[in-house]
Amino acid sequence: MSQHHKFTARTRMSDLINEDASLLSSISRFGISLGFGDKTVKEACEANNIDSNTFLSVVNFLSEGNVEVDETYNNISIETVISYLKNAHSYFLDYKLPSIRTKLIDAVESSGQLSYQVVFMKFFDEYFDEVRKHMDYEDKTVFPYVIQILEGKLHPKYRIAIFEEHHSDVDSKLAELKNILVKYYPAKGTNYKLNDVLFDLLSCEKDIASHNQVEDFFFVPVIEAIEQKLSKSHE
């Protein structure tokens, strides 16, 4: 990793989290649990069989926002990235979004504005469905394809560019739900529960955006580079 990056192999994991708490979810998606004591990034990655170069590339990118990653492609383990993305899918589909849905139902019922519940749940469930379709497509189509090309087998028709086209924009549905909650929901009093749900929605939106950036700036470019090499070798 270049010296100008915020985190290096010698950075203590505890210092990394204290410096940027938003990376906590990313660390768990690499399969690294809390309780790492004074371990450095290198030591924690080695203890969990994680490629440290890939770990540092991702966390520095997410923390710094706009990192030049072209030069690091050769040092990125695509298997590590796939594992990271799969764990993220499980987090969103099996935990975070169902949790927000439960909180949303409770917040509306507690406010006494039950007439709005159908509208809210319709928008949320449509958003959830779009996210699920997108992530299921990756799990069932994209990742198996990538495993094949890592084995040197180039598919006669499929390319990662098709995934980019399939990379559906689900933000609009979430934006509609947020607008209804913020602009038009006739909540009375402080309504802490509804505020809590809105905060979770905003946080989840940002988290999914970061997830998509890892796909766009790490995953896709590396696969495109591998495809080009395989295409040339088959000429």
Same domain, yes or no: 23 and 105: no
Same domain, yes or no: 174 and 201: yes
- Picking from 29, 37, 35, the residue whose alpha carbon sits closest to that of residue 54 is 29
Same domain, yes or no: 20 and 104: no
**DSSP assigned state of 181:** I
What are the tens digits of pLDDT across the range 52-72?
Answer: 999 998 999 999 876 555 554
The answer to whether the CB of 116 falls within 8 A of the CB of 108 is yes
Same domain, yes or no: 161 and 179: yes
What are the tens digits of pLDDT across the range 94-142?
Answer: 999 999 999 988 888 887 767 777 888 888 998 899 899 999 999 999 9
What is residue 12's predicted lDDT score, i.e. its pLDDT? Answer: 97
Q: Give the distance from CA 64 to its chain's centroid.
A: 16
| Residues facing residue 12 across a β-bridge | 40
The residue ranges of the chain whose pLDDT is under 50 are 1-2, 72
Residue 149 token pair: 């090309």
Q: Which amino acid is at 58?
A: V
- Picking from 101, 103, 90, the residue whose alpha carbon sits closest to that of residue 127 is 101
Same domain, yes or no: 41 and 124: no
**DSSP assigned state of 115:** G
Burial zone of 158 (CB within 10 Å; 0-12 exposed, 13-18 middle, 19+ buried): middle
